């Protein structure tokens, strides 16, 4: 169901990958996000390279996408997980290296706390790899205090 009768909601999705051709995986995912049912890609941040946070493995390639979607938050989450699975995402243990990671960061002004989904994303304000690209496309959503809090995390534009 695409929800043709639903209003468009602005949603933000964090993208990351650090296995295989990580840059290509993130670029392909950005393209795929704009092709989801009832959804268009409104903006995408530049790509960033960042060190893993609370994990090992190679550096990540990260970005944030802004979507206009008619999907509900659970429908959008399901679509994101389908894209991850198609990219070979496995979940052998928490914070394992990833072929593709797609996190629903924000869904309009919604506050959701369910067993499957928490929005806004509970750790987004702790991660430079989310805040820096988010600030590029939605500077009103990221405060200077947020950026100062993550200033010690290694991140650079690709």
Q: What is the mean pLDDT of residues 33-58?
A: 93
Lowest-pLDDT choice from 21-30, 84-93, 104-113: 84-93
Of the candidates 70, 98, 127, 132, the residue annotated as catalytic is 98
- Homologous superfamily of the 9-157 domain (CATH): 7,8-Dihydro-6-hydroxymethylpterin-pyrophosphokinase HPPK (3.30.70.560)
Domain ranges of the chain: 9-157
In the residue annotation, 101 being an active-site residue is answered as yes
DSSP label at 6? S
Tens-place pLDDT, residues 54-108: 777 899 999 999 999 999 999 999 999 999 999 887 766 666 678 899 999 999 9
Is the pLDDT at 132 greater than 70, yes or no? yes
In the residue annotation, 89 being an active-site residue is answered as yes
* CA nearest to 102, candidates 134, 80, 73, 72: 80
In the residue annotation, 23 being an active-site residue is answered as no
Is 57 in contact with 130 (CB distance < 8 Å)? no
Of the candidates 59, 70, 91, 101, the residue annotated as catalytic is 101
Residue with tokens 């496309």: 137
Write the DSSP assignment of 18-86 as a string of letters.
-SSSHHHHHHHHHHHHTTSTTEEEEEEPPPEEE--SSS-SSPEEEEEEEEEE-S-HHHHHHHHHHHHHH
Is the pLDDT at 1 greater than 60, yes or no? no
Number of residues written out for the chain: 158
Is the pLDDT at 26 greater than 80, yes or no? yes
Query: Percent of the chain having pLDDT more than 70?
Result: 94
Of the candidates 7, 21, 70, 103, the residue annotated as catalytic is 103
């Amino acid at each position: 169901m695409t929800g043709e009768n639903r209003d468009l909601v602005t949603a933000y999705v964090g993208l990351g990958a650090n296995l295989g051709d990580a840059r290509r995986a993130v670029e392909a995912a950005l393209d795929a996000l704009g092709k989801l049912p009832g959804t268009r890609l409104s903006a995408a941040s530049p790509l960033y390279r960042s060190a893993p946070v609370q994990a090992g493995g190679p550096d990540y390639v990260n970005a944030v996408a802004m979507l206009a979607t008619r999907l509900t938050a659970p429908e959008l989450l399901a679509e994101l997980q389908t894209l991850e699975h198609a990219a070979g995402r496995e979940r052998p243990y928490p914070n394992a290296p990833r072929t593709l990671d797609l996190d629903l960061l924000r869904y309009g002004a919604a506050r959701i706390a369910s067993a499957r989904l928490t929005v806004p994303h509970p750790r987004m304000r702790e991660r430079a790899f989310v805040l820096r690209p988010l600030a590029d496309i939605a500077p009103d959503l990221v405060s200077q205090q947020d950026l100062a809090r993550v200033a010690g995390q290694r991140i650079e534009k690709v």
